[in-house]
Structure 1
Amino acid sequence: MSWLRIAFGTLLLTTNTLLHVPPLLLVALVKAIAPLRPIAPLRAIRRGCDSLLMGIAANWIGINTTLIRWFTRTRFTVDIDARLRPDGHYLVLANHQTWVDIPVLQAALNRRVPLLRFFLKSQLFWVPLLGLAWWALDFPFMKRYSRQQLEQRPELAGRDIAATRRACAKFMHIPVAVMNFVEGTRFTAAKHAHQASPFAHLLKPKAGGVAFVLDAMGGALHSILDVTIVYPDGRPSMLDLFANRVREVRVNIRERPIPAELLGGNYQNDPAFRERMQAWLNELWGEKDRLIAELRAA
């Protein structure tokens, strides 16, 4: 019966996407046509388009979450130690284990905070329907370069930074929750061993992305949402979720102030600031590692 459950659930999620993406693209087109000029009627049109886009996206995510709850017996245990605002400006930091993390984050935070915006690989723009939807919702698309490419052409390193700044400039004047999977990749035992990670349940955190967002948006951000996701029965796949093989998901959300000493620094060119940023993130990751152990043992 699991294959039937998977097929039917996938059909419903696909149908939900097909119903929401066309109006999303239509509103995005109207927003793109309206010139970005300091004229009150044009500003009102763009603000109205932003509100419509967020409403369509929130409804799309809400129906997806409802379908998951209807077609699975997965228990979502969410512990929130934060004052969440749907009109806030947040930097959201989370551990990353599986693609299931994304619907879990959406289920925990949809309509409680602004729409989560992920930094996406540029290749994902070409995903049918979803790529255009992410573009319409101002998800930043980043082009990743290998170490060899950067060694041959060092100027490429600045392009990601410039893209981050452009994305954050869009977010300065609208409610936003900028999402960052700080480990940079999904956790596996092989990656953990290869890194010789000092954390029992996490990969090493990467400070660069956090530093660039704080530099570009620090004054506009209200706080940091520190999200910890635990699957007591092990890391599931999306097929496991649809096949009703995920018994429980535990999510802990803590609001943290943004340390003043991490604002206004130059991560690229200031080694002392870079060390300070990495030390703060390592300390945060140490707390998260201990929390994961507690949530697994609970």
Structure 2
Amino acid sequence: MRRLLTALSVTLLLVLNTLILIGPLLLIALGKFALPGRALKAASSRGVMWVAETWAELNKLIFACLLPTAWDIRGGGELRRDTSYLVISNHQSWVDIPALVQAFNRKTPYFKFFLKQQLIWVPLLGLAFWALDYPFMKRYSKALLAKHPELKGQDLAITKRACEKFRELPVTVVNYLEGTRFTPVKHAQQQSPYRYLLKPKAGGVAFVLAALGEQLDAVLDVTLVYPGRQIPGFWALISGQVPRVIVDIRTRPLDPALWQGDYENDGEFRQQVQDWVSQLWREKDARIAQLRDEARVEAREPVEAQGLAGK
């Protein structure tokens, strides 16, 4: 019963926060289309970002007041709001997004996610995603592309158009290289060579780098770890069943060679990007193992200390 009451309270406050701020956000967003001149349009975009950051800060306050979750954020002390970043993270759960908000909101420019096109129809949130200029991606299966080759390359065109909007202001672009949330079933089906990760897809990050590389100042290599046996879902979070989340941030320089090439048509350049992604993923897999081992040791130490104290 306590978990249910906690979840209902958190949900109610999250919904109220969204309902209160969605109106101002959409009203300011209209200025991007109605106001004359680039300066006024940019001011409107900054206003939309400010409302979104306020919404995120209030959500953080709700979590802090009602949930026992400890957000163990490591690194990121040098983050700035006047520069652009590419965030590369492993992806396990809907809890990943609140974790990124905890780590980066009002420390970096507001997030830009690449979303599935179907999400534009989600009540309220779809409108908010539109107002925030989140790019909606339409994914095509290999079978469909074989029947309709004219669709090939449309994702790249969408990415480039979306990134054009990002050139006016600093931005934090989030890219999940796995393309989907990690599950043991998917891991087994892929026969992934990594212990805690699915196989990465280099194409998406290559498109972002091609469209936005000169604007990006660094890569924020984020490793998310949920200590325990199971990866928690969003219900577990809002019902108070997630005691701790580790957000490990490593700032990496971005080699200009990674965007100065043609990923689609230059095989040598494509291999260069894929090698960079593979090395990044090998290091991330090792980092997850290290963080999980540390968390297990920390979990045992209080028990051992209590046992010694009782002797």
Cα distance in 2 between the residues matched to 1:18 and 1:207: 37
The within-5 A match list for 1:70-109 is 70-81=65-76, 83-109=78-104
Which residue number corresponds to residue 211 of structure 2?
216
Query: Structure 1 residue aligned with 2:236, among 237, 240, 243?
Result: 240
* Secondary structure, counterpart of 2:168 in structure 1: coil
Encode CA deviations 1:250-278: one digit per residue, 9 max, x unaligned: 01111111123212111111111111111
Q: Which stretch shows the higher mean deviation, 148-157 or 204-213?
A: 148-157
Query: Which amino acid is the alignment partner of residue 223 of structure 2?
Result: T
8 Å CA contact retained: 1:82, 1:254? no
8 Å CA contact retained: 1:79, 1:253? yes
Cα distance in 1 between the residues matched to 2:39 and 2:166: 17
Which residue number corresponds to residue 303 of structure 2?
none
8 Å CA contact retained: 1:230, 1:251? yes
Any stretches of 5+ residues in structure 1 without a counterpart? 36-41
* Secondary structure, counterpart of 1:208 in structure 2: helix
Query: Which amino acid is the alignment partner of residue 149 of structure 2?
Result: P
* Secondary structure, counterpart of 1:179 in structure 2: strand
Which residue number corresponds to residue 26 of structure 2?
25
Cα distance in 2 between the residues matched to 1:271 and 1:201: 29
Which residue number corresponds to residue 16 of structure 2?
15
Encode CA deviations 1:13-66: one digit per residue, 9 max, x unaligned: 00000011110000111221124xxxxxx2221122122111100000011111
8 Å CA contact retained: 1:89, 1:175? yes
Cα distance in 2 between the residues matched to 1:81 and 1:122: 31
CA RMSD in angstroms, aligned pairs only: 1.0
Which residue number corresponds to residue 59 of structure 2?
64
Q: TM-score, normalised by structure 1?
A: 0.96
Which residue number corresponds to residue 39 of structure 1?
none
Which residue number corresponds to residue 132 of structure 2?
137
Residue 146, structure 1, aligned to residue 141, structure 2 = yes
Which residue number corresponds to residue 126 of structure 1?
121
8 Å CA contact retained: 1:82, 1:253? no
- Equivalent pairs counted in the alignment come to 292
Query: Which amino acid is the alignment partner of residue 8 of structure 2?
Result: A
Any stretches of 5+ residues in structure 2 without a counterpart? 295-311
Query: Structure 1 residue aligned with 2:50, among 51, 55, 61?
Result: 55
Encode CA deviations 1:137-181: one digit per residue, 9 max, x unaligned: 100011111111111111212211110000111111211001101
Shift of 1:81: 4.5
Query: Structure 2 residue aligned with 1:253, among 249, 254, 270?
Result: 249
Shift of 1:82: 5.5
Cα distance in 1 between the residues matched to 2:233 and 2:61: 19
Cα distance in 1 between the residues matched to 2:145 and 2:245: 39
Cα distance in 2 between the residues matched to 1:43 and 1:140: 21
8 Å CA contact retained: 1:88, 1:114? yes
Cα distance in 2 between the residues matched to 1:260 and 1:28: 33
- Runs of 4 or more, structure 1, over 6 Å off, are none
* Secondary structure, counterpart of 2:72 in structure 1: strand
